[in-house]
Chain A
Amino acid sequence: MAFLKVSSPHAHGPMSTGRVMRLVLMATIPGLVALTWFFGFGTLTNVLWASLSALAFEALALKLRKRPIAFYLNDCSALVTAFLLGIALPPGSPLWLILVGTGFAILLCKHMYGGMGYNPFNPAMAAYVLLLISFPVEMTNWLAPRGAVPASELLGPVDALLRSLGIGSAPIDGVSMATPLDILKQNDALLVDDLWAQTPQFGTVAGIGWEWVNLAFLLGGLYLLYRRVFTWHAPLSMLLAIAIMALLFNDGGSSASGGGALFNLFSGATMFGAFFIITDPVSSAVSNRGRVIYGALIGVLVYIIRAWGNYPDAVAFAVLLMNFAAPFIDHYTQPRTYGHKKPNAQEKA
């Protein structure tokens, strides 16, 4: 009778990497529903194409790297990247744009660095930035939300598919409309209150639809927090940093205003970024203190780019910049070990 010879611990917790990824995928459902409700089926086609292509690219990369394909596909990390990119892209983006994005994300940003766990940058955000810089027209072509236009103007499932494939006499076009962050950025004449009154895109605290989409992602994020997929440190500090920056630089709503705290928190990709992007463990800082700093700096950068930069939204840029800084943050945020007076990094400094 031969017993196993293994070292302790013998028990293992219920969590697995695949399970973590599937929880993240599940948590995007409220946001996806909100996006679909307000902007039509374009986001779902994004996610569909992104998922299929990401899985194909992942399998290709694994095959080229001679890794077991099923074992790694099963961890669902490529799917998560695909979902995040699909959500970030304007609804109903063309297939070629999505292919370029997922190819860049999976092949270059992930596998060129050694695959799962080794990528210094968040693949979805890196791909998003690549597309934004390379194809600015396609990337800023946001559809108008329900409420600002009649429901009949929204993309239906078939329309969305045809549009993404570029089929039809002319590409089926929903009504494009600037996002609230765009409007605020380009405004240099009206006071914020006047702008609010004159523009149909604005809703209760932020843009029509956008406020709900952000709320939905907040909900999904809270679910992940509850399931202990990540800790509160990075998201909370990012949201707090954005709010504090907005309060600090709130000039009472002049034409140059960067918008109030609530507006910033519920606009653009704030909640999506806070709970689904900066919580990507691979490319973020690792210790809790480090994550507080990491999140806060992302928040500050988001506000700075939104208020004074050239791009209306800033989450992707802020995240990529802080991905660079993560190892540096890690070095200075080593926790104090039990029985030690100070963390070792500080003892040496």
Chain B
Amino acid sequence: MRKIWDIHGGIHPPENKTQSLQDNIRAAGIPAQLIVPLSQHIGAPAAPIVNVGDRVLKGQMIGEAKGFVSAPVHAPSSGTVAAIEPRVIPHPSGMSAPCVVINCDGKDEWISHQGISDYRSLDKNTLVDTIRNAGIAGMGGAGFPSSVKLSGGKDKPIDTLILNGTECEPYITADDILMQERAAEIIAGAEILRHIVEPNETLIGVEDNKPEALAAMRAAAEGTGIEVVSFPTKYPSGGEKQLIQILTGKEVPSGGLPADIGIVCQNIGSARAIYRAVCHGEPLISRVTTVTGEACSTPRNYDVLIGTPVQYLLDLSHFDASRCIRLIMGGPMMGYTLQDTAVPIVKTSNCVLAPTVEELPPPPPAQACIRCGMCAEACPVSLLPQQMYWFSRAQEHDKLEEHNLDDCIECGACSYVCPSNIPLVQYYRASKAEIRQAQQDKIKAERSKERFEARQARIEREAAEKEAKRKARLEAAKAKQQSATKDGSKDDIIQAAIARSKAKKSGGADTPSQDPAQAAIARAQAARSGDAVSETAEEKTARLEKQLASTEKRLAAAQQKLQLAIDNNDDNVEAFRSGVEKTEGKLQTLRKELDAHRASQAPAPAESVSDDPAAAAIARAQAKRAGGAEAESPYAARERLTTQIASTEKRLDAAQQKHADAQAQGDANAAAFATAVEKTQAKLDKLRAELAALPAAEPEPPAEASNADDPAAQAIARALAARNANAELSEADKARNAVSSLEKRIAKTQQKLDQAQADGDDNAAILSDTLAKLQGKLDEARQALDALSQEEN
């Protein structure tokens, strides 16, 4: 007699197995529709290899395994693929997952298949592949792909092969009746497994509450060397780890696999499926499922096609829904409740339990834990469930791990015995999930930290590179300047022109032809030029253009964001709006600056027009830029042309003045200046012609016009309109406008000042300052206007 070990704890719930053992296994038949989930196993879901509308034959593979830990699925009967879509699958969460839905044609037509007559002559890997291709996954409940268990044993020799016929859960008799009726097939499957694994001994563990199954199995195993071991009934002896302990006295190391201690464990249902697959070529497309519970008047075991809806089985068993408040997939200890009777039977579905309210009453409210310790007595893995319960309630994850929460097999023995009806297992499941979540969050946080640090490093590196480049540029410019001063002669002219233009720029404020805004810009530039002395004219143009382009982009982005915020009714609309306005302001300033700069630079290329390659390059670039804007809209073209005309006009003015100056001074370059004036004039004419040729443009940009109620867009439109209007005004008109607007502002400020003085406001001083400044500006503007009026006259 073999030595039997005992497991710690365990319970003896009412077995309730006789109800479903009154009859033999019956074929459930073919339902109208089969719902075959693509994931019925632990591991990666299978990938569908049929299309909607395809006709499939019984046994045809419809989903192929993806990855090592995966299993294919097969059509359980012949018919047409009606859909490949998510359906509710048997899962504690009641979730949906991809399923292949087959409308059965009732013909049950097999695909051509053939068994292997002499598997012993075959290579083991081929056999494992056969098992894998048959889609066999642990039929005891977990659904671990059988082939994976069989293909891992190369480096670790397997000492013991165990077939699990324990079936310790109450109510379930699927394995029991399979052993009674198909003992020979199970033993044949065991022989195949033995051939693959080559263990020293093969054991079949059966609880002693199944005498008929034991007798049948012992008879079938006669003379094979396979030992059928019976041991006392106790829940949960059927857990893989528990059965291993009972039969061998060994314990699977925490976090390890049975293979680590030289053991492979398979369910007897899986063994039978392996036999059918190897010797008959039949994939796993049906299984024995117990349908029981007092709400079913004819409880029994069915041979069910995978994918058969639970409702179909309940109907066969005369299910009375009015007497049943919970429907369980699996047994009363570890099964989960179903919400939907449309869910299909899958490879792991050993039982559908439909108890009456009296049979399994709803759980009463939990009482306080009295630390009675019955849970610790019942725990098959020697945990301290009540301690874990306290830690779980307090969310002390460290303590839970210290108390080996991970080793909990969720058998439910502790909850079963708890006199206070505390749903202990539920606490452990929740805590396990929390810990998993916390670990994932931790990994995520670490990753983002890494990302942040990498970004920080990159920004620093780029800043350093930029700084280095800037320095290099500075050096180069200095060197150039120095060499230029040394060289003298040819460059002198350019140098002189630059100097002149700078002088003019700094003296711009005094020039009556420029409006006050222009003067302000000039002043700002002068202030800025403190640190940009070394910047050459070309570099400045390039910089300004670059800035302009980037500001335009920013404006576009800001407008988009604003639009989005308005659409979403966001709280930040105001912030976005002011952002847009600011960006617009900046854009305008930049444009003006660029225009001013270009205007001031215009004569420079003219001076060296004959052979200055740099000027030629700039000209080419500008030409190219103009050419590159082919796709621009009439509106944009109009805008561009207007700007260009304005700037060319200014350039023309400047060139004419220079020409006049040169003539007056008898300068040698007078002729060159004359040419420049002519050329600029020609360009201006051309631009004006182009503008005239444009189709009459709409007053507002079309894209923005549609947003009539968008204040930002309106503001932009107004600003543009004002700008366009401004461009068409003569210098004198501009000056007049400036004067009148200044007068208005002065009046307003005066009013405010009076008010402030009357109120004794602190701002009075500031306002009077402002007033003085405005007065100054007004004087300037008036002078400019006078000068212009004289010119006109």
Contacts and interface: CB of A to CB of B under 8 A. Distances in A.
A6 interface: yes
A1 B251 CA distance: 45
A27 to B, nearest CB: 15
A336 interface: yes
Interface size class of B (residues with CB under 8 A): 35 or more
Given A7-B336, A10-B333, A13-B13, A337 B407 contact: yes
Contacts of B11: 13
B606 interface: no
Contacts of B402: 344-345
B333 to A, nearest CB: 4
Interface string A312-349: 00000000000000000010001111111000110000
Given A7-B92, A11-B170, A231-B377, A20 B419 contact: yes
Contacts of A118: 368
A118 B425 CA distance: 21
Contacts of B429: 7
A12 interface: yes
Contacts of A3: 324-327, 337-339
Interface stretch (B252-260, B475-483, B521-529, B777-785): B252-260
A4 interface: yes
B325 A4 contact: yes
Contact of B382 (A15, A284, A336): A336
B339 A281 contact: no
A9 B421 contact: no
Nearest to B367: A17
Interface string B735-750: 0000000000000000
Interface stretch (B409-417, B544-552, B650-658): B409-417
Contact of A9 (B321, B373, B415): B415
Interface string A261-285: 0000000000000000000011010
A19 B421 CA distance: 12
A16 B326 contact: no
Contacts of B360: 10-11
A336 B412 CA distance: 19
Given A4-B325, A339-B251, A9 B368 contact: no
Interface string A205-244: 0000000000000000000000010110000000000000
Contact of B370 (A2, A117, A231): A117
Given A15-B419, A17-B370, A6 B363 contact: yes
Contacts of A9: 332-334, 411-413, 415-416, 425
Nearest to A338: B381
B370 A282 contact: yes
B404 interface: yes
A286 B386 contact: yes
Nearest to A74: B367
Contact of B417 (A1, A15, A291): A15
Interface string B232-275: 00000000010001000001111110000000000000000000
Residue of A12, A118, A286 ringed by the most chain B CB atoms within 10 A: A12
B384 A286 contact: yes
Interface string B374-392: 1011001111101100000
A330 B14 CA distance: 33
B407 A339 contact: yes
Contact of A339 (B254, B363, B386): B254
A339 B253 contact: yes
A75 B368 CA distance: 10
A328 to B, nearest CB: 14
Contacts of A11: 13-14, 170, 332-333, 360, 416
Interface size class of A (residues with CB under 8 A): 35 or more
B217 interface: no
A1 B340 CA distance: 9
A79 to B, nearest CB: 14
A335 B336 contact: no
A71 B365 contact: yes
A310 B364 CA distance: 49
Contacts of A282: 370-371
Contacts of A330: 387
A13 B170 CA distance: 13
Residue of A3, A10, A287, A291 ringed by the most chain B CB atoms within 10 A: A10
B701 interface: no
Nearest to A229: B372
A7 B423 contact: yes
Contacts of A339: 241, 251-256, 381, 407
Given A9-B415, A13-B13, A281-B371, A4 B326 contact: yes
Interface string B308-332: 0000000000000100111110101
Contact of A15 (B337, B341, B374, B376): B374
A338 B251 contact: yes
Contacts of A8: 330, 332-336, 410, 412, 425
A17 B94 CA distance: 33
Contact of B337 (A6, A287, A337): A6
Contact of A281 (B325, B373, B404): B373
Interface in B423-474: 423, 425-426, 429
B381 A337 contact: yes
A200 interface: no
Contacts of B170: 11
Contact of A338 (B335, B336, B362, B407): B407
B94 to A, nearest CB: 7
Please list the 4 inter-chain residue pairs (A to B) with the smallest Cβ-Cβ separation, ordered nearest first.
Answer: A9-B412, A117-B368, A338-B381, A339-B254
Given A9-B332, A338-B380, 7 more contacts: A3-B325, A9-B334, A117-B420, A287-B384, A338-B254, A339-B255, A340-B404
